[in-house]
């Protein structure tokens, strides 16, 4: 199977017959650019083994060899492919409890050149920085690091410039690779820095939060906030791969864990009704951090995101539907001050507002609106503005008019329409229904 983006990064999967190796089956992964490829090929020919390759969006795999040395334990993982044009396809690896050798075997082939700039924040640093620095090193790769301040309030051009400053100080060239280790804030800033450094270098996403695993690390949206609007400065720049080890969620605070599940709920509402029903049955397990349930939720979310990105990479149409609740939610985040709400909390209230507006317009029935409210509350997410909220009708209208989905002065929204799993991205909506929805939610602040 030829790896994405670099014809020198090949991975040869050798399935040994149970006759070999004392009747134990091993999967051998040869991560090569030169001689190891020849070694793996010669092993295949001399052993006379058969191969089978099954291309698909989702591949279940296992790692049993690191540096061509077999191990009797293997970590099972899922691979979701983001299928783009011009050889820019890339994999999303999803598993848990990867060993250092296993993680290195998956990530390191996507490093272009011999220089890596590993970027994280000052909260993640003591948990994971040393580990990923060590596993990225090897094969002559030099790894330097940058630690940024944590939090949405620091998602600024000034903070992102620290990455550029460090890269320039180190004299890093266009063959360098930036690696984002952290949540959505780190991923967005490192991705943006890699998009503009020397007009573009490669980067890799290693997300550590639910939000970044299921949404922001996939699809190439990068950027920073501006005082007048969230994510208003940025670029589309796709990663070389996304590596997800759900074990990192063990150190994620409960509030941030819940915040991420607003994006998971979104996929069910807009395009995947069976997934929504599954969430209704399994939300408690997700909040309890059950590994199998969590891995499935992340995988299915990534599959949904990958399908949408394939159809509309630059958000000219269908990709905009992934912003359900975001127009209302971004207004809440901006007016409240970045960092007051987690992104998923703002999106949750915004999704409740979108469902309310859709019901007022007669696009969905009361039952679907209530199911939307119920699943968000089951996830421990807010569906109303808190009493200390600074939001007003004027603030909503002002900030929503600056939304990135505005075209030719026309505000466009993502609204639910019809049966569960359907939505519409449109500027042709009932303005009176929108105003009544805003007034209703603002009135709840006083109540």
Active site residue 319: yes
Set 108, 110, 299, 343: catalytic member = 343
Distances (CA, A) of 290 to 96, 198, 305: 11, 43, 22
Query: Which distant-in-sequence residues (6+ apart) come within 8 Å of 419 by Cβ?
Result: 273, 368
Set 199, 281, 366, 387: catalytic member = 199
Distances (CA, A) of 175 to 33, 34, 60, 166, 171: 16, 18, 31, 16, 11
Set 330, 369, 404, 412: catalytic member = 330
Set 11, 266, 323, 412: catalytic member = 323
Active site residue 305: yes
Set 319, 369, 404, 412: catalytic member = 319
Nearest in space to 344 (alpha carbons), one of 210, 195, 206: 210
Active site residue 256: no
| Residue that the structure tokens 């500027």 belong to | 427
Which stretch of DSSP H or E encloses residue 284? helix 273-287
Active site residue 384: no
Cβ atoms < 10 Å from Cβ of 193: 27
C-alpha 21/C-alpha 23 separation (Å) is: 5
Alpha-helix residue ranges (DSSP H) falling in 32-129? 35-47, 100-107
> Three-class SS of residue 226?
strand
Active site residue 343: yes
Set 256, 263, 303, 345: catalytic member = 263
Set 315, 333, 345, 359: catalytic member = 315
Q: How many residues does the chain have?
A: 447
Active site residue 11: no
> Three-class SS of residue 145?
strand
Active site residue 289: no
| CB contact at 8 A, 191 and 217 | no
As to burial, measured by CB atoms within 10 angstroms (0-12 exposed, 13-18 middle, 19+ buried), residue 384 is: middle
C-alpha 153/C-alpha 159 separation (Å) is: 10
Set 237, 299, 326, 371: catalytic member = 326
Active site residue 221: yes
Set 110, 115, 155, 221: catalytic member = 221
Set 11, 300, 305, 371: catalytic member = 305
Q: Which residues are catalytic?
A: 199, 221, 263, 305, 315, 319, 323, 326, 330, 343
């Amino acid at each position: 199977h030829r790896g994405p983006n670099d014809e020198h990064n090949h991975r040869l999967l050798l399935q040994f017959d149970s006759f070999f190796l004392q009747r134990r089956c091993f999967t051998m992964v040869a991560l090569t650019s030169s001689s190891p490829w020849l070694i793996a090929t010669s092993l295949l020919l001399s052993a006379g083994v058969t191969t089978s390759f099954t291309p698909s969006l989702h591949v279940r795999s296992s790692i049993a060899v690191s540096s061509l040395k077999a191990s009797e334990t293997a970590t099972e993982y899922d691979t979701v492919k983001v299928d783009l044009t011009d050889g820019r396809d890339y994999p999303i690896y999803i598993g848990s409890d990867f060993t250092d050798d296993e993680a290195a075997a998956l990530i390191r082939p996507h490093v272009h050149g011999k220089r890596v700039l590993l970027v994280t924040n000052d909260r993640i640093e003591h948990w994971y920085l040393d580990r990923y620095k060590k596993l990225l090193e090897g094969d002559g790769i030099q790894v330097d690091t940058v630690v940024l301040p944590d939090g949405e309030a620091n998602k600024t051009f000034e903070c992102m410039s620290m990455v550029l400053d460090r890269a320039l100080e180190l004299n890093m060239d266009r063959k360098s690779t930036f690696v984002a280790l952290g949540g959505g804030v780190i991923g967005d800033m490192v991705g943006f820095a890699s998009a503009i450094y020397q007009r573009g270098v490669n980067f890799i996403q290693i997300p550590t939060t639910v939000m970044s695993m299921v949404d922001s690390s996939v699809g190439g949206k990068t950027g920073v906030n501006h005082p007048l609007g969230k994510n208003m400065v940025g670029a589309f720049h796709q990663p070389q791969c996304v590596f997800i080890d759900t074990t990192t969620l063990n150190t994620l605070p409960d509030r941030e864990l819940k915040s991420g599940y607003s994006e998971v709920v979104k996929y069910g509402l807009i395009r995947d009704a069976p997934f929504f029903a599954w969430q209704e049955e399994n939300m408690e397990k997700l909040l309890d951090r059950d590994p199998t349930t969590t891995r499935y939720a992340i995988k299915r979310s990534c599959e949904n995101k990958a399908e949408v990105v394939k159809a509309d990479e630059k958000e000219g149409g269908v990709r905009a539907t992934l912003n359900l609740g975001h127009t209302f939610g971004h207004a809440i985040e901006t007016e409240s001050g970045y960092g007051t709400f987690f992104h998923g909390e703002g999106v949750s209230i915004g999704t409740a507002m979108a469902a309310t507006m859709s019901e007022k317009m007669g696009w969905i029935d009361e039952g679907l609106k209530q199911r939307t409210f119920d699943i968000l509350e089951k996830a421990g997410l807010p569906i109303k503005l808190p009493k200390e909220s600074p939001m007003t009708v004027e603030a909503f209208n002002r900030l929503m008019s600056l939304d990135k989905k505005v075209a030719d002065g026309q505000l466009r929204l993502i609204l639910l329409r019809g049966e569960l799993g359907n939505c519409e991205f449109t500027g042709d909506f009932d303005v009176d229904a929108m105003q009544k929805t805003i007034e209703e939610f603002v009135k709840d602040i006083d109540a």
